[in-house]
Chains A and B, each alone.
Chain A
Amino acid sequence: MSRTLVIDLDSCTGCHACTIACKGWQNANEDTRLPDAEAYGAAPFGAFLNRVHSYEVIADDTPARLIHYPRTCVHCENPPCVPVCPTGASHQTADGLVQIDAKRCMGCGLCAWACPYGARELDPVAGVMRKCTLCANRIDDPARPAEDRIPACVRACPTGARHFGDPTDAESPLGRLVAARGGFAPMPEFGTKPTSRYLPPRPKDRLGAGAVPTPLVPGGGLQVWLDKLLGRG
């Protein structure tokens, strides 16, 4: 069973709650700490494992649309970030997740160059690489109630735009959602085989070329009737 994130670009409102929840959760753990350099200084330099872009999609036949796009590790089945690591700090665990052993990382930064999605950031204080851990210490924590055994970002999202589960299981609700919405993996040409999926924004109202609003009342309505009555027709 592969576990991963599915992100719905239709319901994401760009509130960045996931980014902050991630930061808070990772910061609480010695091995994954994610501090900012000069957090309260003149030139703060932050590290985040999730970053929400906002894009405007412009097309001729439809109003421009604002799409919020959370960018994070897409949990590749064939992760290019792992083989390049000379120390073995970056590794794939038995359940397929890519993790970093902070004590072995020498901070060469090569893995961040190898990841096509820009998903890895160097901890500017400790000098070791960080990436999304899929909150391994939450999702497998038997002490948590079942509904809490999900990544911190999924828990925090107020619109339910982030899902956690196995989208390859066609029978599961998540599998059905991904199939129904045409979920896609980003940059598939890179051969990274992401397990994550993005659900594309749903189509919105469209105005056809030269379209005018259809009259509410057939035959022209009250004004035409009055005009006729007063002999102005």
Chain B
Amino acid sequence: MRAVPSVILFTTLSGAGFGTLAAAGLGLGAGPGVWLAGYGLAGAGLIASGFHLAHPLRAPLAFRRWRTSWLSREAWAAVAALLVLAAPAASALIGGPELRFLGALGAGLCLATVVSTAMIYASLRAVPRWHHGSVPLTYLACAGTGGCFLTTAPGVTALACLALAVLLGAVFVLGDRRVAALGLTRGWATGLGSSGTVRSFELPRSGPSFITRELVERAAGAGSPLLRLLSLLLAGLAPAGLLLAGTPPAAALAVHLAGILLSRWLFFTEATHVAALFYRGDLTPSRP
């Protein structure tokens, strides 16, 4: 699938932002700075998502189909979370009382937003690598870890980072196995497989198209063990080490976010749509 910068930025920044806001709402780390960072990250992510739309001005229409569409649900959850948490945030800024109930409610909405974002991808049966419970789990784990940096003790955050690295690594391996086990072929997709091996003779195009760009192409780095390892290192291992070495949490958070950006880039470019079977005939992330 096409790894679009706006969507990578959106899922990374708003994930960490809503994670931070959830932690702040639960009263883990008080203080105006935490609230501002949470709102800043979440807001920046949401603005980035607008750049993905061909008609961003029609985005308000996206609230209409919440009954069936995870993208619509995400829009509702995000707006609700930001509104509900506005009161505890304002109260923290002016040194007022800690509004526990609204904070907890907002934290729940933040997590609902992250799950909705993940479900946009996990609900797509046509993208086998995404159609799995590990996607919402990973998105929640990333947001939760990102939310720890500015709100909890460095030791706890470091532990969360290490756990995240293990999870991300496992998801790479299990995802590869799961897609390979499906054994989907060009013969299956075309329905011609029962009479022999199906080889692509000529493609229905003289150049790239929306379909090849969005669904079929993969970056050269897709499936690269080196890049996968680097994403674990940056998202989990390095920030854990930095925190234990006494580096300021904000600096460690920056390293962590760089790792999440890389892992999201891999998330998109390694996933392949079943329509790719009509073209290149396989769904594996790496080239043979």
Contacts and interface: CB of A to CB of B under 8 A. Distances in A.
Interface stretch (B190-198, B230-238, B249-257): B190-198
B207 A45 contact: yes
A184 interface: yes
Given A80-B125, A127-B54, A58 B199 contact: yes
A229 interface: no
Interface stretch (A84-92, A137-145, A150-158, A214-222): A84-92
Contacts of A67: 190, 192
A56 B65 contact: no
A181 to B, nearest CB: 13
Contact of B123 (A48, A84, A109, A201): A84
Contacts of B123: 84
Contacts of B55: 105-107, 127-128
B199 A55 contact: yes
Interface stretch (A24-32, A115-123, A165-173): A115-123
B75 A71 contact: no
B209 A121 contact: yes
Interface size class of B (residues with CB under 8 A): 35 or more
Contacts of B197: 57-59
A175 interface: no
Nearest to A47: B210
Interface stretch (B33-41, B83-91, B98-106, B273-281): B273-281
Nearest to B276: A118
A83 B198 contact: no
B214 A112 contact: yes
B59 A46 contact: no
Contacts of B208: 45
A186 B191 contact: yes
Interface residues of A, number: 61
B53 interface: yes
Most B Cβ at <10 Å: residue of A46, A65, A106:
A106
Given A84-B123, A113-B127, A116-B126, A43 B196 contact: no
Nearest to B57: A106
A31 B107 CA distance: 43
Contacts of B120: 84, 110
B61 A116 contact: no
A200 interface: yes
Interface string A201-220: 10000000000000000000
A124 B210 contact: yes
Nearest to A121: B210
Nearest to A38: B207
B61 A113 contact: no
A193 interface: no
B186 interface: yes
B179 interface: no
B191 A184 contact: yes
B1 interface: yes
A117 to B, nearest CB: 6
Contacts of B199: 55-58
Contacts of B189: 186-187
A122 B210 CA distance: 6
A223 B124 CA distance: 70
Nearest to B187: A57
A27 B72 CA distance: 31
Contacts of B94: none
Nearest to B215: A118
Given A106-B53, A115-B126, A57 B192 contact: yes
Interface string B197-219: 11111111111111100110000
Q: Which 10 A-B pairs have the closest CB atoms?
A: A107-B54, A118-B275, A127-B54, A59-B196, A51-B204, A83-B68, A106-B58, A86-B72, A87-B61, A86-B62
Interface of B: 1, 52-56, 58-59, 61-65, 68-72, 75, 120, 123-127, 186, 188-192, 195-211, 214-215, 273-275, 278
12 contacts: A45-B207, A45-B208, A51-B205, A53-B204, A59-B195, A84-B69, A87-B61, A106-B54, A106-B59, A116-B274, A186-B191, A187-B274
Given A84-B123, A87-B64, 15 more contacts: A54-B204, A56-B200, A57-B199, A59-B196, A62-B196, A67-B190, A71-B278, A80-B124, A86-B64, A110-B120, A114-B125, A116-B273, A116-B274, A124-B210, A186-B191
